[in-house]
């Protein structure tokens, strides 16, 4: 007697299984569908903030205004503290710093960290692309920095995304990798953005921020000072990319761990509960270091995980920033929101 044998239905391919063109199309559809309602208007952005065009002065409001915006000439003339008022910028220049170093080639979910970084870049691009707006990028690879000049238009954005998807992988998932001797690190890349971003605008740094973290949590990360310098002039959004296996180890027996930056390998017995607890505690402390360093630098912090709905996390972040701008920032802090 013949029986009906169920035919297995192939699962949808993950992003890494698709060609660069197919991946780009899927990213575009995901972003435009999930961010529907945010993609409107000519002056879109991810952060509330002041513009840069002078528009007079008004009296200083303690606890609300920044001291660095003091208008000292008017204050001296009137003997009453005044701050400079500015009009919202009508054009926005966004600079992206995308970490494509070997540590970003790791992932245990549908997306690895590199692919999630590209998804974040796609979201930023579609949120900020508009008439007169421009988008540029610095890409940090194991061989150094690669600059894409700031230009406008959808064609430029799609070309930038296509280039990021096609960026060669050094370590990949099959073997160790590592930076070349003398290659740039994250602090060098942040400093490079500071040199090219002449006009006030939005800077988005997409990285796992593991590069340059000191063993002593009391010491600053190597990228903290250049990031603080960048935040003095620009609105800075730090997008931290993480994977769940970087936060805790599962109990799966003997495994081999490899450092993607150096290629160093070590066998670990994950059945040891105390080892898993120490690993989780060290990972949590490391993420606390990143969070505190970003906060001290004056940047806004957004954490994306490879095992979470990244589009929903970005939507929540954008809504929170816009509520912040509408609730307490006043009319001068809506320049790019």
Which CATH number belongs to the domain containing residue 204 in this structure? 3.40.50.410
Q: What is the C-alpha R_g of the chain? A: 22
The Cα 124–Cα 31 span in angstroms is 10
**Cβ proximity of 305 and 294 under 8 Å:** no
Is 244 among the domain residues?
Answer: yes
Q: Quick check: is 4 in a domain? A: no
Count of domains for the chain: 2
C-alpha to C-alpha distance for 214 and 286, rounded to whole angstroms: 9
Q: Are residues 99 and 76 in the same domain?
A: no
SS (H, E, C) 117-179: HHHHHHHHHHHHCCCCCEEEEEEEECCEEEEEEEECCHHHHHHHHHHHHCCCCCCCCCCCCCC
Rounded distance between C-alpha atoms, residue 333 and residue 335, angstroms: 6
Both 154 and 231 in a single domain? Answer: yes
Q: Is residue 78 located within the same domain as residue 151? A: no
Spell out where the chain has E strands: 53-59, 82-87, 93-99, 134-141, 144-151, 202-207, 235-242, 254-258, 265-269, 300-305
d(CA 112, CA 119): 11
Are residues 246 and 298 both part of a single domain? yes
Dihedrals phi, psi of 263, to nearest 5 degrees: 85, 0
Looking at residue 95, its pLDDT comes to 95
Considering the domain architecture, whether residues 80 and 118 belong to the same structural domain is answered as: no
Measured CA to CA, the distance from residue 252 to residue 249 in angstroms comes to 8
157 and 304: one domain? yes
**Position 44 in a domain:** no
Are 238 and 126 in the same domain?
yes
DSSP structure class, residue 210 = -
Helix (H, G, I), strand (E, B) or coil at 242: strand
Q: Are residues 78 and 199 in the same domain?
A: no
Within a domain: residue 162?
A: yes
CA distance 281 to 261: 22
Q: Looking at the domain assignment, is residue 251 inside a domain?
A: yes
Residue of 312, 333, 313 whose CA lies nearest to 322: 333
Helix (H, G, I), strand (E, B) or coil at 246: helix
What pLDDT, on a 0 to 100 scale, did the predictor assign at position 165? 85
Residue span of the structural domain in which 60 resides: 53-87
Look at residue 279 in the predicted model and tell me its pLDDT. Answer: 93
Kindly tell me the sign of the dihedral angle through the C-alpha atoms of 166, 169, 173, 174.
positive
Whether 27 maps to a domain, the answer reads no
State residue 336's pLDDT score. 37
Strands, sheet with 93-99, edge to edge from the N-terminal-most edge strand = 144-151, 134-141, 93-99, 202-207, 235-242, 300-305
Residue 250 lies in a domain: yes
Tell me if 160 is assigned to some domain. Answer: yes
Q: Do 253 and 271 meet the contact criterion of CB atoms below 8 Å apart?
A: yes
> Over the chain (337 residues), what is each successive 10-residue block's mean pLDDT?
39 56 78 66 48 66 76 85 67 91 86 91 85 90 89 89 84 47 80 92 94 89 96 94 92 83 83 92 95 95 93 85 65 37
pTM of the model as a whole: 0.76
Taken in order 32, 35, 41, 46, the sign of the CA dihedral is negative
Phi, psi of 198 (to 5 degrees): -75, -40
């Amino acid at each position: 007697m013949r029986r009906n044998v169920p035919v297995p239905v192939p699962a949808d391919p993950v992003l890494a299984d698709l060609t660069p063109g197919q991946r780009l199309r899927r990213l575009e559809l995901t972003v435009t569908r999930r961010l529907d309602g945010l993609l409107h208007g000519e002056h879109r952005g991810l952060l509330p903030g002041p513009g840069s065009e002078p528009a007079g002065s008004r009296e200083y409001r303690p606890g609300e205004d920044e001291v660095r915006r003091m208008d000292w000439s008017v204050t001296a003339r009137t003997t009453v503290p005044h701050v400079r008022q500015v009009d919202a910028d009508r054009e926005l220049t966004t600079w992206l710093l995308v970490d494509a170093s070997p540590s970003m080639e790791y992932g245990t979910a549908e997306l690895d960290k590199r692919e999630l970084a590209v998804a974040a870049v796609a979201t930023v691009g579609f949120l900020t692309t508009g008439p007169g707006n421009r988008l540029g990028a610095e890409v940090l690879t194991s061989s150094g920095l690669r600059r894409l000049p700031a230009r406008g238009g959808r064609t430029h954005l799609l070309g930038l995304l296509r280039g990021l998807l096609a960026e060669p992988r050094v370590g990949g998932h099959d073997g160790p990798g590592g930076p070349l001797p003398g290659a740039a690190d994250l602090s060098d890349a942040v400093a490079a953005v500071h040199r090219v971003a002449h006009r006030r605008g939005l800077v988005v740094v997409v990285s796992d921020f593991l590069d340059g973290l000191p063993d002593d949590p009391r010491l600053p990360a190597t990228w903290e000072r250049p990031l603080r310098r960048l935040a003095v002039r620009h609105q800075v959004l730090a997008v931290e990319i993480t994977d769940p296996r970087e936060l805790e180890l599962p109990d799966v027996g003997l495994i081999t761990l490899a450092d993607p930056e150096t290629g160093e390998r070590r066998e670990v017995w994950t059945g040891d509960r105390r080892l898993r607890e120490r690993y989780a505690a060290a990972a949590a402390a490391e993420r606390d270091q990143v969070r505190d360093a970003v906060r001290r630098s004056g940047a806004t912090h957004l954490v994306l995980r490879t095992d979470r709905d990244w589009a929903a996390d970005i939507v929540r972040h954008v809504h929170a920033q816009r509520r912040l701008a509408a609730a307490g920032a006043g009319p001068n802090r809506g320049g790019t929101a």
